[in-house]
Amino acid sequence: MDVKKFRSFLARTVSYFLFMGCAKSLGVILDGTVQSTGSDVTMVSWSFIALQGMAFFVGPLTSFMMDYFSTRLIGSIGGFMIGAGFLCQAFIADKVWKLFIVNIISGAGFGSLLLAHTVGIADAFGESFGTALSISTVISTVGTVCMPLLLDHWLQTYGLSAATALLGALTWNSIPCGLASIELERDVSDTANHDVIELDTKARQNVLLAHPLLVFEILIQLFNFIIISSWSLYLVSIGVSKGYSPSTAVFLSSAGGAGLVSGKVLSVAVCYFEWVHNIPLLMSLAIGQVLVIAVFAMTDNFVCLIIASFITGTIISFYSAWVNVQISYVVCSKHFKSAMAWSNLVAGIGLISSGVISGLVHDIRGSFEDVFIFLSIVAVLQGCCSIPSFLCVATPSDC
């Protein structure tokens, strides 16, 4: 592995480790944050979801900035914003509206890093992009195990404010990740180069017209993030609604987390063995996702629910990695950055809106089973959008 590949791989892995670890860790400080802000669980949870959603929502803005500014500058500023947001949360976010602001700042910082690093790793690895991205993501999932434990230790030892401040200090390790970003050949550091800037701007505007199959990838991303967010949010709740204690129902969440890891491992295997367009495999996963999500509404057997949690986690985790690889097959290299930006934007919309939508579905009859029936319908829509992607096997030439 040459220096360019190593830098892009390391920077993306560490920044994604911090992002996934923070997203998983916020639940540790949820109760304390509710008390410190004088708000309720719903609003504080929504502010935490806003952090994750903004990490994807700012994709088009980051893409636009990458046409005019150095990738390293964007990445390092983004890394500073992440830590600054958590430090402000620790010391000045005593109201829920302040909490929303600082989480949006941190989320936007993460978004600046993640898009730049994803495009960077694609530029560095070329045809091996899928395998490199999947391996990076598998390693990053360790953050979902380590960081909640670390934050809980800080919380018990130092209290809420100090623990949140230490989390901010830890996330400032993303600043070196930003500085380690590779400069893309199509990046423009010299603003006098108007012809190249105009070309990149035109590419961003015409990406959907030039590559209409991208619409299906974006819809897959939207549906997948709706499923991921709502499924993760209500796993424990549906276990409790079926008569199990919270201490028992939490194993559904653990099984789902194990499935998320296995899905990333599966994506590595699929990319390595070049099964990205293996239609029997992909169709089996699409149909299987619909069926296993429906299991939550059809049975009270805890073993079946555990198995369904693991399989669902595996499939949705695989989809989240596969769709990013698939984008590289349906758009040319010139449009890849813009395509990823719009895909991230839609993912952010799905992530932020899913809690509201699933909450409304639940409130109709007060049933968590209805939520999972709704998610299985979303999985059907996702599967329908996947069919054109399954059939796309050729990488388009540059426009």
Q: Walk along the chain (399 residues) and give the pLDDT tens digit of each residue.
A: 577 788 888 888 888 888 888 877 776 787 788 888 887 766 777 788 888 888 888 877 887 888 788 888 888 899 999 999 999 998 988 888 899 999 999 999 998 888 888 778 877 887 777 778 778 877 887 766 678 778 888 888 999 899 999 999 999 988 888 888 766 654 444 444 444 444 454 545 577 777 788 888 889 989 998 888 788 777 777 888 888 887 787 788 778 878 888 888 888 888 777 787 778 888 888 899 999 999 998 989 999 999 998 999 899 888 888 888 888 778 877 777 788 888 888 888 888 787 778 778 877 887 888 889 999 999 999 988 888 776 765 556 556
> How is residue 399 written in tokens?
């426009």
pLDDT of residue 106: 92
CB neighbour list of residue 30: distance below 8 Å, 6 or more residues apart: 41, 44, 45, 48
pLDDT of residue 371: 87
| Alpha-carbon gap, residue 121 to 115, rounded angstroms | 10
pLDDT of residue 192: 42
pLDDT of residue 193: 44
pLDDT of residue 136: 83
Contact between 177 and 15 under an 8 Å Cβ cutoff? The reply is yes
pLDDT of residue 199: 47
CB neighbour list of residue 353: distance below 8 Å, 6 or more residues apart: 226
Q: If DSSP states are collapsed to H, E and C, what string results for the chain?
A: CCHHHHHHHHHHHHHHHHHHHHHHHHHHHHHHHHHHHCCCHHHHHHHHHHHHHHHHHCHHHHHHHHCCCCHHHHHHHHHHHHHHHHHHHHHCCCCHHHHHHHHHHHHHHHHHHHHHHHHHHHHHHHHHHHHHHHHHHHHHCCHHHHHHHHHHHHHHHHCHHHHHHHHHHHHCCHHHHHHCCCCCCCCCCCCCCHHHHHHHHHHHHHHHHHCCCHHHHHHHHHHHHHHHHHHHHHHHHHHHHCCCCHHHHHHHHHHHHHHHHHHHHHHHHHHHCCCCCCHHHHHHHHHHHHHHHHHHHHCCCHHHHHHHHHHHHHHHHHHHHHHHHHHHHHCCHHHHHHHHHHHHHHHHHHHHHHHHHHHHHHHHHCCHHHHHHHHHHHHHHHHHHHHHHHCCCCCCCCC
pLDDT of residue 88: 92
The values of phi and psi at residue 310, to 5°, are: -65, -45
Q: Which amino acid is at 34?
A: V
| Alpha-carbon gap, residue 187 to 172, rounded angstroms | 25
pLDDT of residue 187: 42
| Alpha-carbon gap, residue 347 to 389, rounded angstroms | 18
For residue 174, give the nearest of 111, 100, 98, 90 by alpha carbon.
Answer: 111
For residue 129, give the nearest of 386, 315, 283, 333 by alpha carbon.
Answer: 333
| Alpha-carbon gap, residue 130 to 132, rounded angstroms | 6
pLDDT of residue 195: 46
pLDDT of residue 395: 58
pLDDT of residue 194: 44
CA distances from 128 to 72, 136, 322 (A): 23, 12, 13
pLDDT of residue 301: 92
| Alpha-carbon gap, residue 55 to 244, rounded angstroms | 35
For residue 29, give the nearest of 110, 148, 141 by alpha carbon.
Answer: 148
> How is residue 214 written in tokens?
């991208």
